[in-house]
A and B are shown apart, each in its own frame.
Chain A
């Protein structure tokens, strides 16, 4: 029997502190003959008939009140220094919106480019189109439910999204997952990394105009996703991790699919590589583009393949190892150069490294249970915990605070794509609009993670 936690005295946890409540007296509803909402067409017609008549606008639409005001057009004065810098147009410059609806931004994101002709002078990313308030939502969910809410953050690497919270909650609760669970976790996490990096190759090519590599990437992804669905039941948002282990053990179907996939994966990846790695046009478009120096990368908080492509050997699996990585043999790969091509080569190399890791994991997987005995709703003691893992996009970490209740008091996720986006305004000035997409794709952000 692995770690079981019995509380001394088995006291019931007191309720979590609630904010001070005044009386819940409701204000009287408006009388029936008063209009509650004015018909918008009627309002529009009335305003058209009497333009400039301010009395038609409700009092509370003035800025000092709360409201659902939407972003006005850019004619409002800039609020901050940086905003003034970006939105002030010089001679011959114009603002082009690579808008939220765009075939090529990696989700819904708006990039406001200040361009002079084709050359980008400055860039301002506008985020929040996919903000779902997951952090706040998790404050009302039990610890196990939180693990289902975090999946759709960085939807391309859902297993990683679950891994960090599971580790943080285990630290809060004071248990460790059994060894077999750790190995299974590492297995699915590396599988996830394989298809995420494989798809990045496709996204990069697609943004550059090559239509084929993404379809080859999806061949690989389909196989891996079928594999993961046979173990977790889901194809994309896996809901596989639990506090204290994983949900299911490997089964026969999983193992047979794993064998078949492993036999063919290197060929599939090579098929993709052949089109891209030595392609003259691909090289001309990516080599020397968007060079990120190591110093800049560290200062900007970039992690993951982007950082390692600039030469800094920082990998969370080696820097703050979490089990089972101390027992697996692998090196930290880096590239020199820090340009788009280096970031691409870094991901290809890491993809192959992940396949190597998967081989080791399958070799060394121990026997044992796959989930520690934890109650359905866990109530960890008050405390704080921080857990960081290496996701395909960088350092993904969770900072969780528990107050003794069934829900986390504060659940904070640090998503790597969010921080990596800060690199764009630094790298882009001086390049062409077409390069914006290439650099963006090489940084491989996923908007679900950026916007939480």
Chain B
């Protein structure tokens, strides 16, 4: 085993996901002198995606069957690569892509696995991981074992720019394996319901979570958003109830947003949500629970009831706009 770090590149429909850059940034920070950062890119006609990856080397596997994400193929390829390279650390995203692969590989190769990791830092000769657990209410810290370890990373620990490179890395093409026996195939994508607004391009987002309690209270929130000139979005519990369409979902299985201001109303701050808003310039949180994890992420906060605050804030905002 060497000190190399292997990163699995996540790409969906021809775009490299931000989490990849986060992982590369993490790898950059950890890699000691002489250690290589290797990125594993899988796809079809996707070599160009390797251009700005901040890796020392990119291993690229090309095959028509790998155009879209395939959990089985990715797992096999990753396992093979790990066996060949014997790296110190294998980084995958703690995402709907990485989490499908990590456990399979960990079980198959009998490698230890750390999931939901926020950051890894060096401490003397040890590598120490920090992971939020229990909905963000606790933080776990531990030393990575001295053997090849698989780690799935959450977004937010690093700025994605740190994982980009101006210089394209060296790309080595790997022989694609025999892929006829694949037991999983992607049939088709389903677009999110056609919606007027793309929340990823809005400067001011008014987000609602469980704290809104009932669907009728959405009116109050919409009023506030209108008064502020912002857009309403939501966390999973709200979308699951069909109070808002999935196009408004912000979170691990929804959209990642980077607005100028993110106003979080009645949102506790579970990691699945928080990971998608860490890019916001400013987060303001309204939650009656003074120890809600969202307050660790927000710049400003208040424990007032959102139903009391929203109408008053809307009125004042309207007054300002009139002036």
B partners with A? no
Interface positions of B (Cβ within 8 A of A): none
